[in-house]
Amino acid sequence: MLVGKLWAFRSVEVPMTSSAPLLFEIGTEELPPKALQRLADALLQGLVDGLDKVGLTHGESHVYAAPRRLAVHIEALAARQPDRHVERRGPAVQAAFDDAGQPTPAALGFARSCAVDIDALQRLVTDKGEWLLWQAQEAGKGVAELLPEILTAALDRLPIPRRMRWGAGEETFVRPVHWLVLLYGHEVLPFSAFGHQAGRLSFGHRFHHPQAISLSCADDYVRDLEVTGQVMVDRLCRRQSIRQQVEAQALAAGGKAVINEALLDEVTGMNEWPVAVRGDFDRRFLELPAEVLISAMGGHQKYFHVVDSDGQLLPVFITVSNIASRDMEIVREGNERVIRPRLSDAAFFWQQDRAQPLAARVDALARVLFQKQLGTLQQKTVRLVALSSFLARQLALDVSQVERAALLAKCDLLTDMVAEFPELQGLMGRYYAAADGEDSAVATALEEQYHPRHAGDSLPRTDFGRVLALADKIDTLVGIFALGQQPTGDRDPFALRRAALGVLRILVEEKLPLTLAALIDASATTYRRQDITVDAAVAEDLYAFFIDRLRGYCLDQGIGADVFAAVRACKPLAPADFVTRLQAVTAFRQRPEAAGLAAANKRIRNLLRKSGVAAPLLIEEALFVEGAEKNLYEVMSQLTADVAPMLAAGRYREALARLAQLHEPVDVFFEHVMVMVEDDALRANRLALLQALSALFLEVADISLLQQAG
């Protein structure tokens, strides 16, 4: 058994005399356009991390991604690892040899592990003892030897949710693999994967240049693919080219292209050789809501829409073709033929849906399941009406109008338009409600119930919209938590994290004086009427879930973790009030008095804990002996009266600024007054004074938890 422990390697780098660029390309069937950049970035990161881990020095790295390929280019990659001086410490000499001076099994085992004879080992002497030592000069491995393992690991770690299997082999990847390129300078390095041996042959555009392209050098990759293969492998260049072409085509049509960045990314991932093409559609379709046309063009066909100088939609679209056709007019006509039936269907849905009012669909909600255990959309609607009514009363809004909005909230889900374009839910509810003659505030609320739809999205702008959005999200959160289906890890099938953050943003950014406990309890009441139990444990779990989301939201806004902990310790009931306190404490901790008062409060908390004081103590002025304690009491009394109206009004920043005046009297108190004296009455009175001081700050936050700024 080895007694000694392995030492960490101690390396001495030997200057490298050679380096060359590296190119790795994997050619596939068309990759998912929305996942293209994520895959490319992961491949680059995996390769660079692997090179760094084995000590292969290199220059800048570049990643390329096109529909049928992922590639990484590394500049000036060292040909070998640096040689290194290796030392391993073995067992202590005392344990390595017996009384006769013969090596013990521990020494022999160590020598075998180093692949040397016992006589080749040296001695290491330190102030803690003497050990056997093995030293060697280990030659660095070459890039050809190291790369296969690095590439395999990088490919295995790619974020591929579902891998495909193709042909008769067992290999799997995001899409079938057709070729591999691995060049180090001008040389092909050995590597095989997915049933292919790496070489220097790449392939160009599927139609413009389907033949093989022999790459002579890693540095020529981008030029050779573009000039010979008609493939723009640089995604950012391709993206910029698409933007410029689309804008130019729109300008030529007398308008301005509206370029959605997510759509631009997707189109970039669909094209190797992008060519923008303008198309037109029948002006009569402009009678439809603009959002319907935009959804049909962008969501379904990946077209960019065009507006005039007033922002009004024009009967023009811009598509991006993956081929430079000899007759682009045919490409244009083909796309116009494709969009025409799409828009005709939308016009038909618009007419059919308006044949009956939204309210006529309320009963039909009973036939649509919201969630198996939580019931139908009609049952959800009943809960929304009750919860919205509660919120309206809390916020002094028109209860009947809010209830009307809640009653109609889910009706547009049964329309043909939303069935065809699910992303228009809520929006179509607003259009149809307006067409039915519903109050404009009710109609607007139907759209705003889903806001914010994602991080950074706008909040509901109207009172009714805020109420309906809160009710909808709280109902889902409470119901799913009651079923015990909280998010775990990356899984969040009901988007509860997004819903909780939406609730918090509405409460905080709109400064609504509503508490999480009241919202959860009100929703729980609606579920109990449906015989679904929402017990105290569920409410506590959901409250903690909200607070975790609030912490993340606030930290993203630049609030310190210690500031959040200081406010959380006081358990504010309303998120809006919570954030107001956070802002006040953040401002306070920048004051010169903050560090001293935080330290004093920490000292006070320790004294109170050690003394065993739990219940509030009474302060008796007659027991004050020292001038410092009398002065502290007088200053505290005055400040308590001063800050009371500030605290009541939530003016916490102003209150803490005033309480900063306690810094000097508190310092003088601790300098001249002994708290834990033997006299029971004096000790209790001084503890009562400190208890009151601590309680005064706790009206805002536990500042003893603040860390020193900077």
Domains (range + CATH), the chain: 19-81+142-227 (3.30.70.260), 84-138 (no CATH), 235-353 (no CATH), 359-557 (1.10.3210), 592-705 (1.10.730)
pLDDT band at 709 (very low <50, low <70, confident <90, very high): low
Residues 6+ apart with CB under 8 A from 509: 459
323 burial type by CB count under 10 A (0-12 exposed, 13-18 middle, 19+ buried): middle
How confident is the model at residue 292, as a pLDDT?
97
- Is the pLDDT confidence value at 271 over 60? yes
Strand partners, 307: 256, 313
Residues 6+ apart with CB under 8 A from 649: none
Any idea how long the chain is? Answer: 710
Measured between alpha carbons, how far is 673 from 696 in angstroms, rounded to an integer?
Answer: 20
pLDDT band at 669 (very low <50, low <70, confident <90, very high): very high
Measured between alpha carbons, how far is 524 from 372 in angstroms, rounded to an integer?
Answer: 18
pLDDT tens for each residue of 428-486: 999 999 999 999 999 999 999 999 998 889 999 999 999 999 999 999 999 999 999 99
Per DSSP, 355 falls in state T
Contact 642, 658 (CB under 8 A): yes
Measured between alpha carbons, how far is 663 from 596 in angstroms, rounded to an integer?
Answer: 7
pLDDT tens for each residue of 281-323: 999 999 999 999 999 999 989 999 999 999 999 999 999 999 9
pLDDT tens for each residue of 537-546: 999 999 999 9
Measured between alpha carbons, how far is 79 from 16 in angstroms, rounded to an integer?
Answer: 8
Measured between alpha carbons, how far is 466 from 507 in angstroms, rounded to an integer?
Answer: 9
Residues 6+ apart with CB under 8 A from 170: none
- Is the pLDDT confidence value at 14 over 70? no
- Positive or negative, the CA dihedral 71, 73, 74, 78 is positive
Pinpoint the alpha helices (H) of 427-511.
Answer: 427-435, 440-448, 463-482, 496-509
Chain mean pLDDT for the chain: 93
Q: Token pair of 647, please?
A: 């605290």
How confident is the model at residue 356, as a pLDDT?
96
CB burial string 570-604: b at 16+ within 10 A, e below: eebebbbbbbbbbbbbbebbeeebbbbbbbbbeeb
Flag the least confident range among 235-244, 517-526, 541-550, 600-609: 600-609
pLDDT tens for each residue of 483-501: 999 998 878 889 999 999 9
CA 462 to chain centre: 28
Highest mean pLDDT among 129-133, 160-164, 344-348: 344-348
- Residue 346 to residues 112, 297, 349, 412, 431, Cα–Cα distance (Å): 79, 11, 5, 15, 14
Measured between alpha carbons, how far is 68 from 36 in angstroms, rounded to an integer?
Answer: 10
Residues 6+ apart with CB under 8 A from 307: 255, 256, 258, 313, 314
pLDDT tens for each residue of 553-610: 999 999 999 999 999 999 999 999 999 999 999 999 999 999 999 999 999 989 988 8
For 619-628, what is the mean pLDDT? 91
Indicate the pTM of the whole model.
0.82
3-state secondary structure 288-315: CCHHHHHHHHHHHCCCEEEECCCCCEEE
The three-class DSSP label of residue 192 is strand
- Residue 526 to residues 24, 131, 460, 522, Cα–Cα distance (Å): 59, 74, 24, 7
Nearest to 231 by CA among 239, 240, 222: 222
Contact 337, 330 (CB under 8 A): no
Contact 27, 116 (CB under 8 A): no
Per DSSP, 491 falls in state B
Nearest to 296 by CA among 246, 262, 343, 347: 343
Between β-strands 84-92 and 129-138, what pairing exists: parallel, antiparallel or unpaired? antiparallel
Measured between alpha carbons, how far is 145 from 197 in angstroms, rounded to an integer?
Answer: 15
pLDDT tens for each residue of 360-414: 999 999 999 999 999 999 999 999 999 999 999 999 999 999 999 999 999 999 9
- Is the pLDDT confidence value at 1 over 50? no
Measured between alpha carbons, how far is 573 from 570 in angstroms, rounded to an integer?
Answer: 9
